[in-house]
Amino acid sequence: MDVLSSIWTLSTGNELIAGSIGGAAQVLVGQPLDTVKTRAQVAPKGMFNGPMDILKQTVQKEGVLALWKGMASPLIGIAGVNSLLFTSYAISKRIISPFPDLSLKEIAAAGAMAGAVNSVLASPVEMFKVRMQGQYGAATDKRLSTVVRDMWQQWGFRKGIMRGFWVTVAREIPAYAGFYTGFEFTKRRFRQRYRTELPLWALLASGSCGGIAYWLSCYPLDVVKSRIQLRSTPPSGTPVQYIGHELKVIVSEGGLIGLFRGLSPSLLRSIPAAGATFAAFEVTREYLLDITGV
C-alpha cells in the first residue's frame, strides 16, 4: 500500500510540474490574441471596428507590450491553474476507469470533472486578467496590485475576488469536455499512422484541435463571464438569473452576433496557444516519466 501511495504521489507531482510548464507556454504564446478577444467582448459599442482594429489601435495607442496586458495575473496563477487542471484530469480519468485507454465519452466526462475543479482557481485569475485588459492606456489605469486591493476592500472575497465564479463553472465544464476530447480524438488519429512516438508537430496539431473544440464548446458563456467580471458592481440574483439577464442584455445591445464577439481571435489564439500547452505538457511529462518511471 505504501508503494502504491508513493507511486500515486510521484505521478501527481509529475502532472503538477508538467501542467505548470504547459500553462506558462500557453500564456506567453496566447496572451496577445487573448487581449484582442477580451476587448472585443467588453469594449464599449463603437470603440472598435472588429478584431483587426482592436489590434491596430492597441499597438498604436499603447504600444506592442499592451498586447500582453493582464499577463501578470495568469502567469502568476498559471502554475496553480494548469497544475490543478491537468492533475484533476489525471485523477478524474482514474476515478472513471482503472484502465488507461478511456473511450472518448469517458475522456469528455473526465474533462468536464477537471473543468469544474479548475474553476476554483481559474475564476479569480481570469477576473483580474479581464479587469487589466479592460483598461485602455488612460492615466487612471491601475496596476494589478491596486486592482486586487480595490476588489478585496470594496467587495470582499465572494463578490470581489471570486466574482463570476459560477459562470466560470458553467463555462469550464463543457469547455474542458471539448478540450480533452478534441485533443485525444486527433492524437488517436495520428497514432493510427505513427505507431511509435508521435512527432512534435502532431502534438501541436492535436493541442490546437483541442483548443478549437474548447471555444466552440463554451461560447457564448465566455462573453458573459468577461462582462460580469468587468462590471463595476457584482451581479445580483441567482447564477441562472444573472447569466440569463446578461445574455438578454448582450442580444439587446448587439443582436445574436453579440453573443459571439471575440470568437474569431479566440479560435485563432487557440491554434498556437493550445498547441504550445499540450506540446510543453506532453514533452515535460515524457521527460519526467523517463526520470521517475511513473
- Percentage of the chain beyond pLDDT 90 is 54
* Cα Rg, the chain, nearest whole Å: 19
- pLDDT, average across residues 27-52: 89
Grade residue 5 by pLDDT with cuts at 50, 70 and 90: low
| C-beta separation of 88 from 117 below 8 A | yes
Q: Tell me which residue range forms the domain holding 183.
A: 10-292
What is the total count of domains within the chain?
1
What CA–CA distances, in Å, run from 122 to 25, 37, 185, 192, 238? 16, 17, 25, 35, 20
- CA dihedral of residues 235, 241, 243, 249 (deg, nearest 10): -80
Does residue 104 lie within any of the structural domains? yes
Asked which of 7-11, 126-130, 198-202 is least confident by mean pLDDT, the reply is: 7-11
5 within a domain of the structure (yes/no): no
Q: How would residue 6 be classed by pLDDT, with cut points 50, 70 and 90? A: low
Tell me the average pLDDT across 177-195: 91
More confident residue, 99 or 183: 183
In a domain, 267, yes or no: yes
Neighbours of 114 (CB within 10 A): 26
Smallest CA-to-CA distance from 84 within 161, 22, 16 is with 16
The rounded mean pLDDT for the chain is 88
The answer as to whether 209 is a domain residue is: yes
pTM exceeds 0.95 for this model: no
CATH number at residue 191: 1.50.40.10
pLDDT tier for residue 151 given thresholds of 50, 70 and 90: very high
Report pLDDT for 294.
66
CA dihedral 249, 251, 257, 259 (to 10 degrees): 50
Q: Is residue 2, in this structure, part of any structural domain at all?
A: no
Amino acid 2: pLDDT: 53
What was the pLDDT predicted at 269? 87
Region for residue 156 given its phi and psi (left: phi exceeds 0; alpha: psi -120 to 50; beta: otherwise): left
Higher per-residue pLDDT: 245 or 3: 245
Q: What average pLDDT does the segment 144-166 reach?
A: 95
What mean pLDDT comes out for the span 127-133?
Answer: 93
Residue 3 is assigned to a structural domain of this protein: no
Q: What does the block give as the cell for 202? A: 502532431
Please report the pLDDT score of residue 213 as a whole number. 95
Percent of the chain with pLDDT over 70: 96
Q: What integer is the mean pLDDT of 89-101?
A: 89
Identify which of 174, 254, 189, 180 has the alpha carbon closest to the alpha carbon of residue 210: 180
Specify if 54 maps to a domain: yes
Q: Shortest CA distance to 152 belongs to which of 161, 143, 144?
A: 161
Cell of 25: 507556454
Among the ranges 21-25, 124-128, 205-209, which has the highest mean pLDDT value?
A: 124-128
Which pLDDT score, from 0 to 100, does residue 285 have?
Answer: 84
What average pLDDT does this structure show over 149-154?
A: 96
Higher pLDDT, 3 or 107: 107
Query: In whole angstroms, what is the distance from residue 152 CA to residue 154 CA?
Result: 6
Q: What is residue 289's predicted lDDT score, i.e. its pLDDT?
A: 83
Flag whether 63 is in a domain: yes
Rounded Cα distance, 124 and 120, in Å: 8
Q: State the pLDDT confidence band at 1, using cuts at 50, 70 and 90.
A: very low
